[in-house]
Structure 1
Amino acid sequence: MARRERPQLITDAARSPEQELRAREVRYVVMMLLRAACIVMAAILVAARPPLLWLWLTLCFLGGVGLPMIAVLLANDAPPRAENRLRNRLRRRATSHPDPGHALDEHQHRVIDPD
């Protein structure tokens, strides 16, 4: 069996699609709860009539109208592909030809085979 040049590190592994979907769902629900809080706060402010009511209502309106748009964009956002991540490109270039006679440094990780 042929081995790849560098093993996949668990810290570099991508999250599973289920984990990504769950994180996006949680983010969406939190943003919609913030939107609901803005709407409730606007109703409370109208009843209480505090000083600078126009400013507070404007902020609540922006939260009530702007948050759904941002929430949908973030919920539909996908993580970048591996070939588009700059961090991985730089790491591959720097360690593409490791010296086998060299001691392990911070960029080379010890591989333990199950055999």
Structure 2
Amino acid sequence: MKRQAYQPILITDASRSQDDQLTSRQKRYVLMMAIRMACVIVGAVLVSVRAPLLWLWLPLVALGMVVIPWLAVLLANDRPPKDKHRLANRFQPRHRDETPPMSLTAEERPHKVIDAEP
């Protein structure tokens, strides 16, 4: 019976750390809130100078002020999905009659001898 070789886990297959994910989500949130602030300022400037086509620009700016915070919160709370099981992708599927990797045959396994006589 041939034993299967153990396949090490490669570091390149590792997902990003939680700190890196959190940092990137925070940066994205701050950027989107800065865009929202710009929409508020542009809306105030357009109203104060009575810009032409104000009826077109104000709804667009207002839409940006309402939609961007909603999207920012959704994206800030978004993270990659977790695996169903930590070891689910580590081992390749095997047939019923194959031995699992790194297992010992019955002869190789350490066993206790129980003696019935004192």
Please give the range of the TM-score, normalised by the shorter of the 2 chains.
0.5 to 0.7
Give ranges in structure 2 of 5+ residues lacking alignment.
94-118
The verdict on how the C-alpha distance between 1:4 and 1:33 changes in structure 2, with shifts beyond 3 A counting, is: farther
Structure index of larger Rg: 2
- Which contiguous aligned blocks of 4+ residues in structure 1 show a shift greater than 3 angstroms? none
Give ranges in structure 1 of 5+ residues lacking alignment.
84-88, 97-115
Superposed CA deviations along residues 10-45 of structure 1, whole A, max 9, x for unmatched, are: 1x3211100100111000000000000000000000
Size of the aligned set, in residue pairs, is 86
Residue in structure 2 matching 1:8, options 7, 10, 25: 10
The structure whose RCO (Cα within 8 Å, separation 6+) is larger is 2
Partner SS for 1:72? helix
Instruction: Measure how far apart 1:59 and its partner are.
Output: 0.8
Q: TM-score, normalised by structure 1?
A: 0.64
Distance in 1 of aligned mates of 2:56 and 2:80: 37
Q: TM-score, normalised by structure 2?
A: 0.62
Partner SS for 2:25? helix
Distance in 2 of aligned mates of 1:63 and 1:4: 54
The verdict on how the C-alpha distance between 1:14 and 1:4 changes in structure 2, with shifts beyond 3 A counting, is: farther
What is the Cα-based RMSD across aligned positions, in Å?
2.6
1:31 aligns with 2:32: yes
Distance in 2 of aligned mates of 1:4 and 1:82: 22
1:17 aligns with 2:24: no
**Higher helix share goes to which structure?**
1
